[in-house]
Amino acid sequence: MFFGPLCECHEWVCETYDGSTCAGHGKCNCGKCKCDEGWYGDACQYPTNCDLTKKKSNQMCKNSQDIICSNAGTCHCGRCKCDNSDGSGLVYGKFCECDDRECIDDETEEICGGHGKCYCGNCYCKAGWHGDKCEFQCDITPWESKRRCTSPDGKICSNRGTCVCGECSCHDVDPTGDWGDIHGDTCECDERDCRAVYDRYSDDFCSGHGQCNCGRCDCKAGWHGKKCEHPQSCILSAEESIRRCQGSSDLPCSGRGKCECGKCTCYPPGDHRVYGKTCECDDRRCEDLDGVVCGGHGTCSCGRCVCERGWFGKLCQHPRKCNMTEEQSKNLCESADGILCSAKGSCHCGKCICSAEEWYISGEFCDCDDRDCDKHDGLICTGNGICSCGNCECWDGWNGNACEIWLGSEYP
More confident residue, 166 or 299: 299
Q: In the prediction, which pLDDT does 223 show?
A: 79
- Residue 102 forms part of a structural domain: no
Chain segment 230-278, per-residue pLDDT in tens: 777 788 888 888 889 988 888 888 888 888 888 888 877 777 888 999 9
Residue 198 has pLDDT above 80, yes or no: no
Average pLDDT, the chain: 82
Specify the CATH number for the domain of residue 385.
2.10.25.10
Same domain as 245, residue 182: no
- Residue 380 forms part of a structural domain: yes
What pLDDT band is residue 412 in, cutting at 50, 70 and 90?
A: very low
CA 345, CA 334: separation in Å to the nearest integer?
11
What pLDDT band is residue 196 in, cutting at 50, 70 and 90?
A: low
Poorest-pLDDT segment among 105-109, 204-208, 288-292: 204-208
Taking alpha carbons only, the member of 48, 41, 49, 47 closest to residue 14 is 41
Residue 75 DSSP SS3: strand
Q: In the prediction, which pLDDT does 203 show?
A: 55
Q: What is the mean pLDDT of residues 209-229?
A: 79
Poorest-pLDDT segment among 60-64, 110-114, 180-184, 295-299: 180-184
- Residue 306 forms part of a structural domain: no
Residue 408 has pLDDT above 70, yes or no: no
Domain boundary among 97, 113, 133: 97
Q: How many domains does the chain have?
A: 4
Same domain as 157, residue 74: no
Same domain as 89, residue 15: yes
What pLDDT band is residue 67 in, cutting at 50, 70 and 90?
A: very high
Q: Please return the burial class of 325, using the count of CB atoms within 10 Å of its CB with bins 0-12, 13-18 and 19+.
A: exposed
- Residue 93 forms part of a structural domain: yes
Q: In the prediction, which pLDDT does 294 show?
A: 94
What pLDDT band is residue 2 in, cutting at 50, 70 and 90?
A: very low
Structural domain harbouring 239 = 234-279
Same domain as 170, residue 254: no
Question: In terms of residues, how long is the chain?
Answer: 412
Domain boundary among 159, 190, 221: 190
- Residue 243 forms part of a structural domain: yes
Is the link from the previous residue into 269 a cis peptide, with omega within 30 of 0? Answer: no
Q: What is the mean pLDDT of residues 75-79?
A: 88
CA 404, CA 412: separation in Å to the nearest integer?
13
Q: In the prediction, which pLDDT does 5 show?
A: 46
What pLDDT band is residue 204 in, cutting at 50, 70 and 90?
A: low
Chain segment 8-43, per-residue pLDDT in tens: 555 556 776 666 788 888 888 887 888 998 888 888
Q: How far are the Cα atoms of 2, 13, 31, 42, 352 from residue 6, in angstroms, in the given order? A: 10, 18, 13, 22, 80
Q: Which residues contact 366 (CB under 8 A, 6 or more apart)?
A: 341, 342, 344, 345, 352, 354, 355
Q: What is the mean pLDDT of residues 48-67?
A: 88
Strand (E) or helix (H) holding 266 = strand 263-266
Q: In the prediction, which pLDDT does 209 show?
A: 79
What pLDDT band is residue 299 in, cutting at 50, 70 and 90?
A: very high
Q: In the prediction, which pLDDT does 42 show?
A: 80
- Residue 159 forms part of a structural domain: yes
Same domain as 10, residue 86: yes
Q: What is the DSSP string of 78-131?
A: TEEEE--TTS---EESTTS-EEGGGGB-TTT-SBGGGSEEEETTEEEEPTTEES
Residue 201 has pLDDT above 80, yes or no: no
- Residue 340 forms part of a structural domain: no
Residue 143 has pLDDT above 80, yes or no: yes
- Residue 249 forms part of a structural domain: yes
- Calculate the dihedral angle through the C-alpha atoms of 110, 112, 115, 118, rounding to the nearest 10 degrees: -120
Same domain as 244, residue 185: no
Does residue 336 contact residue 329 with C-beta atoms inside 8 Å? Answer: no
Amino acid at 78: G
Same domain as 23, residue 92: yes
Highest mean pLDDT among 43-52, 95-104, 218-227: 95-104
Residue 293 DSSP SS3: strand
Domain boundary among 33, 68, 97: 97
